[in-house]
């Protein structure tokens, strides 16, 4: 009787080893790239300084990894292919201070169980080496092998005995893409390693051991990325964060270029990924992602890497601390950088005219439905220079911050939208709405922080009809809205009463404010955290209260706005991440006019 017979109640049977191995292999080896990852990690654990990877047909035909590491003794060959056999762990305590890439002793047994593998190895101190074959878990006798010191592993016919997995393999080029990504992660994390990757005999990458991190980034991601990096290096207790972040102008449509390494291992971590994006908050458009190469070194005892067979996810003992380390390091670094977008002019057109192209024309919030576009408002009172400014004004004559000129150069308004200004560096073009919005945003935030954000009480509360869901959502955020000066109360059914509204928005009908905020909340997939909601609402308030593009401004208003530029701690981007100003450097102008 077999375990699957239906005519009698099934008995419990111990699964044969070959089945156990296939199940385990399925967890570790998902696709050819997983084999490459495991073999590369073994080579690194063996102290290799040079690794050559050869791949054919995306790894479906052949994966060969040759290293110059410490090799495997012939006597250990069979154990190397045994499940849960490792040279990297001796006691259970070692699990909590893992220094090596591997430790589960699963990779070789998994790969050997689902492919044809040849292992050849020679420890450098031995006169000769040995080889063994493993086909679907069946081992050949060990034979002599005369090769150079190190280990050479060939994997052919991957998934030959697991047809379902084989079917799920994608095209050779897709699988090769995954393999290249694995190689990239390994090469970034191990400066000093000489790594070559070949596909069908053609060289894909050759990373010399002498190439430092910056050079490696340049090799993998090109000069565009390399040229826009800021280094970071921050210690906090026993934790160390270092690496590079790219200028916000180098943003991407996915988070794929956010590389995070923990103690030399590439990892995926939602919380730290979030910290990266938070570090760039206000500098990126919605849906855009920062580029970052971050390395985190923390005591091995404070992280559990044994969460998942592929070890790409880990559990931190102090994740909150690390979150703040990443966030504050990025924030401070970006704040220290002058981020006024520098206009990269294209080559002059054949007619000789300079045709500067604005950076990608981002969709404006104002053109989105749900944002009333009725306001043509007079300039609200400029925030008086606060007694306690958000940031202390830069010290006069500081080499870092140029002194604020007593008299601002005169600015000219163009198209009722832009202010043009001569500065020491060149010609500055300011987006009047974006700059004003930024200044108001910081003003509102500062007032909020001090608890002096003014609210206007409504003598007669204003009822607003909403959908039942919207009404519920509004009440869910009652506290946060009240903190902003927007008082709301339930009135039964789906009616909400507005009892007060932010004084800054005195010219916007209260119901419109509430609806704009609700539209915003609804655009989130999940309920936003209170802090994020507050910040978004403040940015919305600033947006509504600011002068608009198309508003003609008087000379005083123009002068005020230009002067207020220095009050903002980030005068370079509006709260939605659009630049507030573009600088045409004198040098660029001279170049375009062919003066130099
Ligand atoms: P783990 O890496 O978790 O120990 P593996 O199945 O990947 O498990 O490897 C089993 C053992 O084989 C390792 O512990 C190591 O001793 C040995 N080994 C594998 N690859 C190499 C290599 N390239 N050089 C030296 N030893 C190796
Ligand atoms: Mg391993």
| Residue to mutate (ligand 1; options 45, 94, 123, 265; most atoms within 8 A of CB) | 45
3-class SS letters over 74-107: HHHHHHHCCCCCCCCCCCHHHHHHCCCCCCCCCH
Global pTM reads 0.64
| Residue to mutate (ligand 1; options 50, 65, 83, 86; most atoms within 8 A of CB) | 86
Task: Pick the atom of ligand 1 nearest to 104's CA.
Answer: 3
Phi/psi for 553 (5° steps) reads: -115, 145
Tell me how far the alpha carbon of residue 499 lies from the centroid of ligand 2, in angstroms.
64
Q: What is the pLDDT along the chain (596 residues), one digit of tens a residue?
A: 444 555 566 788 888 877 777 777 777 898 999 999 999 999 999 999 999 999 999 999 999 999 999 999 999 999 999 888 888 777 777 767 777 887 778 899 999 999 999 999 999 999 999 999 999 999 999 999 999 999 999 999 999 998 888 888 888 888 999 999 999 999 999 999 999 999 999 999 999 999 999 999 999 998 889 999 999 999 999 999 999 999 998 888 889 999 999 999 999 998 999 999 989 987 888 778 999 999 999 998 899 887 777 778 899 999 999 999 999 999 999 988 766 665 554 444 343 333 333 333 222 222 222 222 222 233 333 333 333 333 333 333 333 333 344 456 678 999 999 999 988 888 989 999 998 888 888 888 888 888 888 888 888 888 888 888 788 888 888 888 898 889 999 887 788 999 998 888 877 788 888 888 887 777 666 667 788 788 888 888 888 888 889 989 888 888 888 887 776 666 677 777 778 888 888 998 998 898 88
Q: Which ligand is nearest to the CA of 47?
A: 1
Q: What is the pLDDT of residues 31-71, one digit of tens each?
A: 999 999 999 999 999 999 999 999 999 999 999 999 999 99
Among the listed residues 182, 254, 272, the one whose alpha carbon sits nearest the alpha carbon of residue 220: 182
Q: What is the pLDDT of residues 261-320, one digit of tens each?
A: 999 999 999 899 999 998 998 788 877 899 999 999 999 889 988 777 777 889 999 999
Residue 427 and residue 589 in contact, taking contact as beta carbons nearer than 8 Å: yes
- Between CA 547 and CA 320 the distance in angstroms is 39
| Residue to mutate (ligand 1; options 50, 87, 99; most atoms within 8 A of CB) | 87
Tell me how far the alpha carbon of residue 213 lies from the centroid of ligand 1, in angstroms.
27
Phi/psi for 507 (5° steps) reads: -95, 0
Q: Which ligand is nearest to the CA of 110?
A: 1
Residue 38: its H or E element? helix 32-45
Tell me how far the alpha carbon of residue 4 lies from the centroid of ligand 1, in angstroms.
36
Ordered alpha helix ranges (H), 491-554: 510-522, 530-545
């Amino acid at each position: 009787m077999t375990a699957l017979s239906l005519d009698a109640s099934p008995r419990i049977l111990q699964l044969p080893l070959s089945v156990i191995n296939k199940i385990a292999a399925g967890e570790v080896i998902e696709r050819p790239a997983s084999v490459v990852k495991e073999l590369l990690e073994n080579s690194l654990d063996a102290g290799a300084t040079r690794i050559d990877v050869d791949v054919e047909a995306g790894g479906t035909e052949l994966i060969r990894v040759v290293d110059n590491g410490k090799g495997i003794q012939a006597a250990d060959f069979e154990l190397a292919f045994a499940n849960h056999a490792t040279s990297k762990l001796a006691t259970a305590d070692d699990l909590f201070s893992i220094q090596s890439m591997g430790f589960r002793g699963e990779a070789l047994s998994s790969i050997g169980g689902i492919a044809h593998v040849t292992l050849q190895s020679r420890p450098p101190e031995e006169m000769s080496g040995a080889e063994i074959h493993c086909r679907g878990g069946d081992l050949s006798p060990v034979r002599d092998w005369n090769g150079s010191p190190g280990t050479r592993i060939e994997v052919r016919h991957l998934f030959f005995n697991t047809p379902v997995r084989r079917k799920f393999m994608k095209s050779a080029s897709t699988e090769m893409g995954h393999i290249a990504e694995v190689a990239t992660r390994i090469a970034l994390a191990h400066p000093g390693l000489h790594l070559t990757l070949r596909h069908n005999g053609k060289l894909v990458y050759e990373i010399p051991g002498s190439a430092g991190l910056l050079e490696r980034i340049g090799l993998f991601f090109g000069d565009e990325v390399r040229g826009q990096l800021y280094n970071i290096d921050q210690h906090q207790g026993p934790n160390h964060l270092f690496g590079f972040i790219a200028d916000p102008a180098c943003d991407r449509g996915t988070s794929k270029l956010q590389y995070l390494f923990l103690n030399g291992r590439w990892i995926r971590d939602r919380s730290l990924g979030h910290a990266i994006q938070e570090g760039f908050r206000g500098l990126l458009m919605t849906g855009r992602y920062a580029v970052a190469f971050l390395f985190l070194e923390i005591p091995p005892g404070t992280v559990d890497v044994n969460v998942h067979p592929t070890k790409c996810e880990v559990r931190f003992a102090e994740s909150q601390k690390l979150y703040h380390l990443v966030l504050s390091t990025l924030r401070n670094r970006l704040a220290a950088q002058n981020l006024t977008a520098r206009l990269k002019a294209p080559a002059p057109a054949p007619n000789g005219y300079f045709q500067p192209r604005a950076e990608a024309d981002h969709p404006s919030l104002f053109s989105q439905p749900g944002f009333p576009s009725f306001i043509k408002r007079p300039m609200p009172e400029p925030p008086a220079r606060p007694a306690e400014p958000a940031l202390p004004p830069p010290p006069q004559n500081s080499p870092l911050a140029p002194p604020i000129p007593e008299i601002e150069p005169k600015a000219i308004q163009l198209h009722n939208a832009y202010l043009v200004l001569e500065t020491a560096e060149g010609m500055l073009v300011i987006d009047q709405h974006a700059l004003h919005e930024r200044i108001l945003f910081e003003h509102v935030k500062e007032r909020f922080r001090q608890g002096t954000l003014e609210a206007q009480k409504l003598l007669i509360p204003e009822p607003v009809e909403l959908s039942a869901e919207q009404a519920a959502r509004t009440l869910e955020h009652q506290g946060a809205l009240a903190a902003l000066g927007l008082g709301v109360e339930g009135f039964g059914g789906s009616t909400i009463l507005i009892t007060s509204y932010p004084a800054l928005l005195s010219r916007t009908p209260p119901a419109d404010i509430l609806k704009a905020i609700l539209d915003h909340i609804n655009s989130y997939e999940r309920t936003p955290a209170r802090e994020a909601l507050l910040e978004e609402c403040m940015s919305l308030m600033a947006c509504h209260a600011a002068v608009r593009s198309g508003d003609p401004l008087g000379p005083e208003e123009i002068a005020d706005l230009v002067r207020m530029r220095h009050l903002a701690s980030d005068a370079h981007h509006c709260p939605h991440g659009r630049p507030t100003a573009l600088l045409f450097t004198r040098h660029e102008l001279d170049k375009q006019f062919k003066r130099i």
